[in-house]
Structure formats: structure tokens, C-alpha cells
Structure 1
């Protein structure tokens, strides 16, 4: 039943913010969701960003937005090209060589950050580049708060974002470092941007070991 509930919540938000894109609406549902303690071995893979709160999502403070070109950059990063890329985009003139790369581990301005471990016997490092748009008060200052287990390190640069107008955009970088994960499936952390107006913009950070043990 999660899908119809999320669809209804998205439609509810759209009535208040008709100018918001689908990506912006998804962002506000994710970043204002409440953490779920479900005891799932797969952590965020089992609960997602959390339990959505449509009323709270009407005023997220910041949003992670995406345009068509952002999705194309992501496909180029994922090695889509030529005919396959044209089929996905519906445009035969789409060419990765003519699109400037966004950078970062995933090349996508998404509200969550996921690192897939390539070698579970060695440590993992990844850098994410994100852009947030101010949809709250004109004058807003947000501080970064990272919550992570002792063996996971996440640093945010800059760790303070100062906005002077609505719809102003700010860039930041998150560097994530994790330990070897021979016996661990998922390690979870989070980044919250917090201001003085009770906005808490939360992004899950997940390091996942996709080499699953026998029996899982």
C-alpha cells in the first residue's frame, strides 16, 4: 500500500506548490520523512527514507531538484550511449560528449547518497556533489549535522549554507569513508541541514556491500 499513499501525498503537495517538479516533490517527501526503526537487516533498503509526513513536507526548507539534463548526465555516467541512450531519452540527437559532466560519485542531485562497495576487503571512499534550493524564508542559514557510526566518516564542505533569497541555490560536497565490510551488509549514516526555523532536511547516507552471504 506504500505506492498509493505516496502518490496521494505527492498530489497533496502539488496542490500547494504547483510549480514544483516531480523531483522536488520527491525530495520534500524524502527529506522530511521520519526515521523508521523496523529492525531490518537491510536498513534503508528495507525502510527507504522513512515514514512520509505530507503536512511537514509542505515546508521542507530546502529541496534537491532535477531537470531533464540531470537525468541524461546520470545515464552518461552509467555508460549509456548511442542507440540505447537515444531510446531512453526519445531523442536521436542526445550525445554524452556534448553534455558537461556533473561530477561526484553518482552524478545525480538526489536526496540520498549510496555507496556500493566494490571490494568488501578494503575501505571505501566516495564523494557526492549536491545542490539545494531554498524554498523557505528568504534569509536562512543552515548548519550541517552528520550522524554516523564510529567506523564511518562523512565530512561536508561547506558545513554552513547562507541563503539571502527564495529559490537561491547552493552547492556542497560530502566525502564518505567506510571500513572493510566482509561481514557487514549495510552501514547507515545521515546528513541533516538544520536552520533556526525548525527545518531539518535529512538525507540518508548508505554504504552497502552487495556481495551477500549465502542464505540471505
Structure 2
């Protein structure tokens, strides 16, 4: 799982190898409810009519449900850029502790040249099971590369919750 060995990088291997035993107790999860997807679709330009074809209910696109692609609570971070021009994007995420109560997760970021990744806060401390904590990820940079591959890992020393980060351009 190295972008030096696989030119498709994060696009080729995603969040890592399947580990059925690790999946039983992952530590942290990125929850997304129906409303999160409604906001995502409305933010992508869906009309209420098209949205209802997807949801099968009376959901509607309003100012309240008009979300951003950057705020879908999903473990992957992707950004389309124009190569050679400066870029910046901010993502809001929330994780739920399904590991141990009284645990702290520290972030570790791996990024190539041309990509600056800031995570705030850098430590998430949980007192109880099912407690939620939010964080913000900012991607910035400028590159002539058409693909930058990076990752973000939250670790409490037992669980390693990995999120792929892709910046791609034309």
C-alpha cells in the first residue's frame, strides 16, 4: 500500500486491507444518517423531484437541507483541483467512539510534497462509549501533479482508524 509502488495510490487500495476481526471492534466510526445524504444530494444540485426518486419519501431540497460535498460524514477525503493553481478545502467530520471508554486518539497524517494537511483538534478524548467528537481537516497546496495521495490515521495505540485522502487534477 504505497503510492510509490502503485500509481493509482489511495484510489487503488482505499482505507486498507480487509480485517474481519478488526471490523468487529474498529474503535471509531463515521456515522451518516439519511439527512446527511439528503443534504449531500441537495448540495449536488438535486431537485426535490429527483431527491424523492432516490429517497422514496417526502424529503425536499430547501435552504436547510442544502449541504456541501465537503461535509458528508464519510471517512474519505477527496478534492478535485486545477493543477498548478493554489487550492484549499475544509472538511467537517464527526466520529463515534465504539472502542473503549476513557480513550484518546491522536492523529497522524502522511502527505506528499505539495499538500499541507491540518487537522484540528489533533487529539480526540472520549469519556464514554458512543460519545461523538468532531474535527476539521483542511487541505492546502499547489502542485503540478495530477494525483496526490495521503492518509489520516486516528490511533489510540490499539485501534488505527485510517482515512484516505486524494487530491486529483487535470
Q: State the match for 1:146 in structure 2.
A: 109
Gaps of 5+ in 1: 1-34, 212-216
Q: State the match for 2:100 in structure 1.
A: 137
Q: State the match for 1:75 in structure 2.
A: 41
SS state at 1:96 partner: coil
- Per-residue Cα deviation, 1:74-104 (whole angstroms, up to 9, x for no partner): 101111112111111112x32221635555x
Is the Cα–Cα contact under 8 Å of residues 101 and 107 in structure 1 kept in the other structure?
no
The yes-or-no answer on 1:191 pairing with 2:155 is no
Is the Cα–Cα contact under 8 Å of residues 124 and 133 in structure 2 kept in the other structure?
yes
Task: Say what the alpha-carbon RMSD is for the aligned residues.
Answer: 1.9
The yes-or-no answer on 1:200 pairing with 2:160 is yes
- Per-residue Cα deviation, 1:124-159 (whole angstroms, up to 9, x for no partner): 111110000000111111111111113211011111
Cα distance between partner residues in 1 of 2:48 and 2:30: 29
Higher relative contact order (CA 8 A, sep 6+): 2
Shift >4 Å, 4+ stretches: 100-103
Closer, same or farther in 2 for the Cα pair 1:187/1:148, shift >3 Å?
same
Q: Count residues in correspondence.
A: 170
Greater share of helix: 1
Normalising by the residue count of structure 1, what TM-score does the alignment of the two structures yield? 0.72
SS state at 1:106 partner: helix
Mean Cα deviation higher: 122-131 or 79-88: 79-88
SS state at 1:166 partner: coil
Normalising by the residue count of structure 2, what TM-score does the alignment of the two structures yield? 0.91
Gaps of 5+ in 2: none
